[in-house]
Structure 1
Amino acid sequence: MALVGLFSAKDKEFARKVDLLASVVEAHGGQVVSRHVQRRGVSSGGADKMGDPLSRRTLLSPGRAREVADACRQGGVGVVVFVNPLTDHQRAVLTDMFGCLVLSGDDLR
């Protein structure tokens, strides 16, 4: 499995949140093979937009989304789990883009 998360640049706990998701995945019998973090800074619209996703379709920047997709294909990843909640539309777009099942950590709790 691959883990993915979008976090504000102000979020100092992002690594702990990814580690927590990894422990949930492992408790369900999954093996984490890669982790991908997208940090959202203040340079693209100010602090008021830091909580907004970079893309409403994918939550990620185009470059990070390609990075995750490439890692999934090269590593034979069967499931990607996002730290962030996902809409049904985002799941469909990401599943198509990554070529594997896409879940949110909320699905595992």
Structure 2
Amino acid sequence: MAETDVLIAGLFSAKRKDHAQLMDALAAEVTARGGRVVGRFVQRRGISGGKKGSAPGGKSNMDRPYSPRTLMSMGKVKEIAAARATTGAGAVVFFNELTGRQRTLLTEIIGCPALSRCDLERALEPPTASQEC
């Protein structure tokens, strides 16, 4: 990651009041590894009213991704892709853990490697059986 322009992104529940500090910490991690943060993207998952019928409202979904395929909404992913094209960033680091499917699809859509904060941590530490991000 040394001397690479990097975008950072995070999906946070509206219940999470410290999202700005968490993004600052992620930026510091990227910078400590030699990357240059050239853009930040935050998507907040808020509370919406109950849906018609017996479907649960937004409150019960606040801690879930917007999309199982892309983590964030497609609109936000397109925003990140446009910023990557404009800045020439070499990677996007997400605060959130990514599944293999999300990583592959985001890399394809955005046009550069999609990594998670956990990937940065794992790159510096030997793996352990109980290691969780």
Coarse TM-score class (shorter-chain normalised): over 0.9
Larger radius of gyration: 2
Q: Which has the higher contact order (CA 8 A, sep 6+)?
A: 1
Letter in 2 for 1:16: Q
Greater Cα offset, 2-11 or 41-50: 41-50
Cα separation, 2, equivalents of 1:37 and 1:50: 15
Aligned-pair Cα RMSD in Å: 0.9
Deviation string, structure 1 residues 63-96 (Cα, Å, up to 9, x no partner): 1111001000111011000000001110000000
Deviation string, structure 1 residues 24-49 (Cα, Å, up to 9, x no partner): 00110000000000000111733111
Q: Provide runs of 4+ in structure 1 moved above 4 Å.
A: none
Correspondent of 1:23 among 20, 28, 31: 28
Correspondent of 1:59 among 68, 71, 74: 71
| Alignment-derived partner of residue 115 in structure 2 | 103
Letter in 2 for 1:19: D
SS at match of 1:51: coil
| Alignment-derived partner of residue 83 in structure 1 | 95
Q: Which consecutive unaligned segments of at least 5 residues does structure 2 have? A: 1-5, 50-56, 122-133
Cα separation, 1, equivalents of 2:16 and 2:85: 30
Q: Which consecutive unaligned segments of at least 5 residues does structure 1 have? A: none
Greater Cα offset, 85-94 or 38-47: 38-47
Greater Cα offset, 53-62 or 42-51: 42-51
Correspondent of 2:38 among 23, 33, 36: 33
Cα separation, 2, equivalents of 1:89 and 1:52: 16
Cα separation, 2, equivalents of 1:88 and 1:46: 26
Would you say 1:7 and 2:12 are equivalent positions? yes
